[in-house]
Structure 1
């Protein structure tokens, strides 16, 4: 038995069997990206309605939370309800770190899609190219043209997913950095009040 021919057949069958899952995943990701674009637009409009520029120090000192974004206002409500014990400063810092971790974690799906989209597009390109070349050797131009259409469209979809994900990630990373800065500032300003509340218990 020719081992090389057997391995070639196995690799060809394994690669060909990946085409359908790759196309299905790309289709699902494309639908998800359309839905996510709607939620991203909602976040963008909500932030555009906020007054700019904002003096974060003055707004935080005056407890005017309407000037901040929704994540910052939610953090302030959690901070005000914080149950202090013997170490209120550590409790406030822990809340800040947990909120920061959750905000960065919420961007992981975009970071993954930046790499996964083009990777799946490349896989969806190479598999039909292989079957297309095999069809060309047999003179089947109809199958070749069909395989080339699949190859190029999966490339376009994969690259588009990666580019759009990178755009969304870049903008939302700037939002997260701004929100974390404001949260840290508010936490610093509210720390004496939290400590006094803990001492009065």
Structure 2
């Protein structure tokens, strides 16, 4: 039986991620784990999270998980979710903290002066709720998901990659922003597939069968 590790560094409710993956991959052993050895031994890795970037980086290091995350990002099918996407970048404006530097780029806060909808109404931050995700490159994780499908977001910051070639999807909320990035064995999303009904389950199912 293949193993999937969901990295637990103490930030966020990871059971919903585990339950969603168990729903689409009943033949896989799903481990929610803070043990670096289990992360390194897994066949696939999911790196989720909720909360503030400084807290997430601190807790990741406090549990000694940084080397295991970086190793998994180098050589395993790797899915980052929400803060788990943001932590892969070089730096975040949230708390002015460095990230894991897997990708070059900045994590930015939504600019207050540009948060206006098409009807002229002010948009609230955090961006919370369903929004359309526009695919910018073909990818196995998009199979069976229509372009413009709606996914569930909860965030005040978004990634701004230095290399536009890694942008896998965008979403509009006052401004267009990066909703997903992809490179080699890594796919990472700002939205929450585990909270995104059929489209989210399809993406998780695609990840479980993906052979990068």
- TM-score by length of structure 1 reads 0.19
- TM-score by length of structure 2 reads 0.18
Structure number, greater radius of gyration: 1
* More strand by percentage: 2
**Higher RCO (CA 8 Å, separation ≥ 6 residues):** 1
